[in-house]
């Protein structure tokens, strides 16, 4: 196949380590300070092998560290991807480069708001392109390879780093520096993008996503403010009370497993729930369900299932764009 007959893939650059220039080949920690980030076209030019998989259209969406990703960026990114798929039906898929710090959050937001079965693949890097042993080039290549692959159709938004394809709903960063930082816990990888040019899947996520999602960013100009209250021994209800005073639209309790908090924090959560602020209970241990127990029901809480608190925050924000009804929001947490 000539390059012209390859699938068309958009490559949207948002910044992150994958684009950041270090001071020298040993700079694996300080490179973010100067904040010098290469344009997406320059990153693509480093990987001529991408032409084996796709005709790539590089587009600089933004160029920031992912610690600087804003909710407005999510809305604009979802809208841009939806626009690409609706206005350019010949496009096979979209790859997004992103910093790893909030990569899983952006991926899950897109998983709930992109309206297409076509592949959307988010990638990043743990070592900048200037560092010895960088993973920037291979991750970029694998993201394009995965976005171009018909095997990826209908699987929702996925992430690809370290050759491993993972579901946006399950994936989380687990290590500060290692290239194998992204894991999906008990659920494992969906598949691999390997150097034999194949994209191989072994499973698909079963929760609703993308083309089946009831959430829409069309016409949305902002997201409701939802904050996370972290539970610890002795962690009283202060954060919950302060969030409520500040006028948040919803609160996620990052609870002690399996879903409780310090008694004072429990009282504060109950008080704000009675005042009409939806509260989702999510556990911060990294795996396992928060169950809709009788106690949770009586207090009016929403059980966050096995979503991490940060992903529960995203789902609650989107849920609140549609409803404030507790039963409806619980259905959404049981569905997505
Ligand atoms: N600080 C970087 C960011 O999130 C980390 C990375 O990309 O790995 O943008």
For the residues 281-307, what does the mean pLDDT come to?
A: 94
- Asked if 8 and 127 sit in the same domain, the reply is yes
pLDDT bin (cut points 50, 70, 90) of residue 4 is confident
pLDDT bin (cut points 50, 70, 90) of residue 295 is confident
- Asked if 121 and 83 sit in the same domain, the reply is yes
- Asked if 188 and 241 sit in the same domain, the reply is no
The 10s digit of each residue's pLDDT in 312-329 is 999 999 999 999 999 999
- Asked if 158 and 241 sit in the same domain, the reply is no
Ligand 1 near 24 CB (within 6 A): no
The 10s digit of each residue's pLDDT in 89-147 is 999 999 999 999 999 999 999 999 999 999 999 999 999 999 999 999 999 999 999 99
Domains contained in the chain, number: 2
- Asked if 83 and 171 sit in the same domain, the reply is yes
DSSP H/E element including 64: strand 55-64
Indicate whether 218 belongs to any domain. Answer: no
CATH number at residue 197: 3.40.50.1170
The pLDDT score that the predictor gives to residue 3 is 64
Last residue of a domain, one of 212, 234, 263: 212
Last residue of a domain, one of 183, 212, 241: 212
What does the alpha-carbon distance between residue 108 and residue 86 come to, in Å, rounded to a whole number?
21
Distance from the CA of 16 to the center of ligand 1, in angstroms? 4
Indicate whether 14 belongs to any domain. Answer: yes
Indicate whether 247 belongs to any domain. Answer: yes
Distance from the CA of 152 to the center of ligand 1, in angstroms? 25
The 10s digit of each residue's pLDDT in 264-292 is 999 999 999 999 999 999 999 999 999 98
- Asked if 70 and 208 sit in the same domain, the reply is yes
- Asked if 94 and 177 sit in the same domain, the reply is yes
The domain in which residue 244 lies consists of: 226-335
Last residue of a domain, one of 184, 212, 240: 212
Averaged pLDDT of the chain? 97
Closest by CA position to 14, among listed 130, 119, 98, 102:
98
Distance from the CA of 103 to the center of ligand 1, in angstroms? 8
The 10s digit of each residue's pLDDT in 193-247 is 999 999 999 999 999 999 999 999 999 999 999 999 999 999 999 999 999 999 9
Cβ atoms of residues 218 and 248 within 8 Å: no
Active site residues: 17
What does the alpha-carbon distance between residue 308 and residue 286 come to, in Å, rounded to a whole number?
6
CATH number at residue 284: 3.40.50.40
Q: Whose CA is nearest to atom 7 of ligand 1?
A: 99
Ligand 1 near 32 CB (within 6 A): yes
Ligand 1 near 239 CB (within 6 A): no
Ligand 1 near 101 CB (within 6 A): yes
Tell me the pTM.
Answer: 0.97
Q: Which atom of ligand 1 is nearest to the CA of 124?
A: 7
- Asked if 282 and 317 sit in the same domain, the reply is yes
- Asked if 174 and 274 sit in the same domain, the reply is no
- Asked if 198 and 231 sit in the same domain, the reply is no
- Asked if 191 and 290 sit in the same domain, the reply is no
């Amino acid at each position: 196949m000539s390059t012209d007959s390859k699938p068309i893939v958009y490559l949207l650059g948002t910044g992150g380590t994958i684009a950041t220039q270090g001071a020298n080949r040993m700079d694996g920690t300080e490179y973010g300070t100067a904040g010098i980030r290469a344009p997406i076209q320059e990153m693509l030019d480093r990987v001529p092998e991408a032409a084996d998989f796709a005709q790539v259209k590089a587009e600089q969406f933004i160029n920031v560290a992912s610690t600087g990703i804003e909710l407005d960026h999510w809305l604009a990114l979802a809208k841009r991807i939806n626009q690409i798929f609706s206005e350019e039906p010949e496009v096979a898929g979209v790859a997004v480069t992103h910093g790893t710090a909030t990569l899983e959050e952006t991926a899950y937001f897109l998983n709930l708001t992109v309206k297409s079965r076509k592949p959307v693949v988010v990638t990043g890097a743990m070592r900048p392109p200037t560092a010895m042993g960088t993973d920037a080039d291979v991750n970029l290549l694998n993201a394009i390879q995965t976005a171009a692959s018909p095997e990826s159709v209908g699987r929702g938004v996925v992430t690809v780093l370290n050759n491993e394809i993972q579901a946006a709903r399950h994936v989380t960063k687990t290590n500060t520096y290692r290239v194998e930082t992204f894991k999906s816990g008990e659920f494992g990888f969906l598949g691999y993008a390997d150097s034999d040019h194949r994209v191989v899947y072994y499973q698909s996520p079963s929760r609703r996503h993308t083309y089946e999602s009831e959430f829409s960013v069309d016409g949305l100009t902002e997201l409701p403010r939802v904050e996370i209250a972290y539970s610890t021994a002795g962690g009283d209800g202060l954060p919950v009370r302060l969030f409520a005073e500040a006028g948040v639209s919803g609160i996620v309790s990052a609870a002690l497993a399996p879903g409780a908090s310090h008694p004072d924090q429990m009282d504060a959560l109950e008080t704000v729930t009675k005042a009409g602020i939806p509260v989702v209970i999510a556990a911060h241990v990294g795996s396992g369900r928060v169950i809709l127990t009788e106690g949770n029901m009586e207090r009016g809480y929403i059980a966050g299932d096995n979503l991490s608190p940060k992903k529960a925050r995203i789902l609650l924000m989107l849920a609140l764009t549609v409803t404030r009804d507790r039963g409806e929001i619980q259905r959404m947490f049981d569905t997505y």
